[in-house]
Amino acid sequence: MDKRYKAYKGNIIYSQDKDTLISKENSYIMVFNGMVKGICKQLPEDFPEENIVDWGKRLIIPGFCDMHVHAPQFLQRGIGMDRELLDWLNTYTYPNEAKFADKDHAKKIYSAFVDELLRNGTLHVNCFPSIHYGASEILFQILEQRGLFAFTGKLNMDQNSPSYYIEDTEQSIRDTETFILQHQNTKNVKTSIVPRFSITCSEKLLAGLGELVKKYEVPVHSHMCEAVNEMKVCKELFPNYKNGADIFYKNNLLGETPTIMAHCIFMDDDVLERMDNSNCMAVHCPDATANINAGGIMPVKKLLDMGIHLAIGSDIGSGANFSIARGIASTIQHSKIRNMFDSEWEAVNLAEAFYMATRSGGRFFNQVGAFEEGYHFNALVIDDSNMYHEMELTPIERLERFCYAGDDRNICMRYILGTEVKIV
């Protein structure tokens, strides 16, 4: 046995697919150079004892994926939750994000933001930045230094925002290209193109960003079909397009490369056809949907059954909770509420929501979110001993309880590529 192998013992849970949770009780994950080599019940006789990490009865699960979160909105969580989306953006978000012109402010807030991601077990993240090149560079560097797998870039917006927080169209395109070129040889943090949403982007800006997508083959991250008022304004601004998806698609920003679209609540058949693409992913943000009244709930079960790729996002700061575990529970709860008014689709179950938060969310990060051979050992160890109360539960029942009733204090270890992650 090669002495570079390590074995992590515990109750191992991961998603095989959207319908199947794999549970391996009292088993070992075999890891070599940070990569999973397999799971076994018994170790070879010659396995080095010093290379065994025994977590006893604790759960070992893949690290969570937060596929839509606004890094500069860290400070505005839970503020203005009685506002409609566009009013909330103008009253709170734009003034807050404008402060990131100050690089010292950016470093302080982004460091705290990344600490909070890791504390809550998010090891893979898709981040919205601000429009500021310097602050976006700082966010990229912090994510890279802390070891997360991530997408981020420089935010683009050149219309329908305050004069203190708006870009020149050509400069926005040039800065985006420079940002891409500066970050071509990075390891686990990759550049994405980030048009805020169609309301704040002119057709010229969207077309220019689409050319960069084709030229450099970089992913896209934006919002789409989020709220009733947003869609109404979008239609007024872009009368020559059928819908929000059509705007992005015809400007090479939907499906040309890996495309992550937040919310996607109101999708007609035409939009669903656009999203039924192996390059596309819709991100459900249940906390944010409830806080900033969108006027509806994503039809998660319907989209899963259609084969559309789905993930979960915290959407900090209209979402107020960093915990993707809690997002799993909220996804199930929201689907039950939707089922009350649309009985055609059943509620989402634990296997489906956990899949969205791990394996499905991780599909663009190159083999994360599961424990099959060839996957990165990016994992969480869950100690739920404070929740036992003399009940005999299966590991999957314990996972469910952690999602509903646990918090970051139950995460006793985080691994990225087999290396312990330190929490500040």
pLDDT in tens, 265-317: 898 899 999 999 999 999 999 999 889 877 788 999 999 999 999 999 999 99
The alpha-carbon radius of gyration of the chain (Å, integer) is: 21
Instruction: Tell me what pLDDT residue 3 has.
Output: 67
Instruction: Tell me what pLDDT residue 12 has.
Output: 98
Hey, what amino acid is at 375?
Y
Q: In angstroms, rounded to a whole number, what is the distance separating the alpha carbons of residues 192 and 23? A: 35
Q: Which two tokens stand for residue 85?
A: 């989306």
CB contact at 8 A, 411 and 381: yes
Percentage of the chain exceeding pLDDT 70: 99
Instruction: Tell me what pLDDT residue 232 has.
Output: 87
List, by residue range, all CATH 2.30.40.10 domains of the chain: 5-63+369-420
In Å, how far are 89, 196, 209, 219 from 224, measured between CA atoms?
A: 16, 10, 16, 16
Instruction: Tell me what pLDDT residue 226 has.
Output: 81
Class of domain 65-365: alpha beta
List, by residue range, all CATH 3.20.20.140 domains of the chain: 65-365
CB contact at 8 A, 259 and 279: yes
Q: Which two tokens stand for residue 133?
A: 């090149």
Q: In angstroms, rounded to a whole number, what is the distance separating the alpha carbons of residues 83 and 28? A: 49
Q: Which CATH architecture has domain 5-63+369-420?
A: Roll (2.30)
In Å, how far are 90, 102, 410 from 164, measured between CA atoms?
A: 12, 14, 43
Q: Which two tokens stand for residue 311?
A: 């993930």
> For 81, which DSSP code?
T
pLDDT digits (tens, 9 = 90+) for 314-344: 999 999 999 999 999 999 999 999 899 888 8
Q: Tell which residue, 300, 216, 297, 223, has the closest CA to residue 259.
A: 223
CB contact at 8 A, 319 and 326: no
Instruction: Tell me what pLDDT residue 292 has.
Output: 84
Residue with tokens 């999602």: 403
Instruction: Tell me what pLDDT residue 1 has.
Output: 59
Helices (H), 307-410: 324-341, 350-355, 395-405
Instruction: Tell me what pLDDT residue 175 has.
Output: 98
Cα 171 to the chain's mean position, in Å?
A: 28
Residues of the chain with pLDDT under 70: 1-3, 389-390
Q: In angstroms, rounded to a whole number, what is the distance separating the alpha carbons of residues 139 and 74? A: 13
Q: In angstroms, rounded to a whole number, what is the distance separating the alpha carbons of residues 50 and 40? A: 18
